[in-house]
Chain A
Amino acid sequence: MKWVVLAVMTAATTTGEVLQAMGMRRHGEIRDFRPSALGRALAVVVRNRFVIGGFTAMGVSFFAFLKLLTLTDLSFAVPVSAVTYVAETILARYVLNEHVNGLRWAGALLVICGVVLVSL
């Protein structure tokens, strides 16, 4: 059971975060941080269908996480879910077309190993 919940959670997290990044990129850089401008930006962003899709996936991931916390310990859930870092970095390179150079790959790999060790 915990593996099913975990699989649902990691798939939903990866999908959600990539869709969100895609949607925010389409929106463009936020430069005005006054509350009224942020409110207007939010009103635009919530109608972006990538962002809507991203939030839907993250909602699934959030409730799967709540369920997981009742089934298992954080020290199991967190290291295994570090697999989302691998999937998301690969998707960032090939779907979002980011220039993931050697330094960034190396940094991402160090972080993934570190997350597993810290949360074991």
Chain B
Amino acid sequence: MTEESARLRVKTWVCATIVVLTNVFGDYFLKRGMSAARSIAGPLDYIATLFQPWVACGVVLLLAWQLSRMALLSWADLSYVLPVTSIGYVLVALLGRVLLNERITSVRWAGIVLIMAGVALVSGGTPPQTTYREVVAP
């Protein structure tokens, strides 16, 4: 059982890292592309926007995000995945500081500390899976 839970934990960490990185960079590219195109009036504008390079990159990453998140949810609880993957907000704030020289105010630092404490509580204190799951034969 301990070997099984260790296996699940490692697998969860690897998959959660992929989920977080694809989410953070997907949102960043999307935001970058969308701020270049500020006028959306009808459905056709949405479709045209999707073909802008930054937006397209963002969409591809967000697709990878969805797929890796689905894989993660095939074994991990939603109430585990939600708080743990929110470490992405911390990453966004830190990336903004490093790449874009954005200032991190004391309020945002407080938020970063709270998120990290929450992630530590959930990921360190509770197992990824609390309900019985069927195992799909390989």
Chain A residues with a Cβ under 8 A of chain B: 17-18, 20-21, 24-25, 27-32, 37-38, 41-42, 45, 51, 58, 62-63, 66-67, 69-70, 74, 78, 85, 88-89, 91-93, 96-101, 103-104, 106-120
Chain B residues with a Cβ under 8 A of chain A: 31, 34-35, 38-40, 46, 49, 62, 66-67, 69-71, 73-75, 77-83, 86, 89-90, 93, 107-108, 110-122, 125-126, 130-131, 133-136, 138
Q: How far, in Å, is B71 (CB) from chain A's closest CB?
A: 5
Does B130 lie within 8 Å of A99, measured CB to CB?
yes
Choose from A51, A106, A114 the contact partner of B111 (Cβ within 8 Å).
A114
Does A24 lie within 8 Å of B38, measured CB to CB?
no
Does B118 lie within 8 Å of A107, measured CB to CB?
yes
Choose from A27, A70, A108 the contact partner of B122 (Cβ within 8 Å).
A108
Does A63 lie within 8 Å of B138, measured CB to CB?
no
User: Contacts A69-B31, A103-B121, A117-B110: A17 and B66 contacting too (C-beta < 8 A)?
Assistant: no
Inter-chain contacts of B75 with A (CB < 8 A): 29-30
State the majority secondary structure of interface residues on B: helix
Q: Which residue of B lies closest to A79 (CB)?
A: B111
With the chains together, A109 CA to B120 CA distance in Å? 13
Inter-chain contacts of B46 with A (CB < 8 A): 63, 66
User: Contacts A30-B75, A70-B38, A117-B110: A89 and B121 contacting too (C-beta < 8 A)?
Assistant: no
State the majority secondary structure of interface residues on A: helix
Does A96 lie within 8 Å of B78, measured CB to CB?
yes
Does A28 lie within 8 Å of B134, measured CB to CB?
yes
Choose from A92, A109, A119 the contact partner of B77 (Cβ within 8 Å).
A92
What 4 pairs between A and B have smallest CB-CB spacing? A117-B111, A114-B114, A110-B118, A114-B115
Q: Which residue of A lies closest to B86 (CB)?
A: A111
Does A31 lie within 8 Å of B135, measured CB to CB?
yes
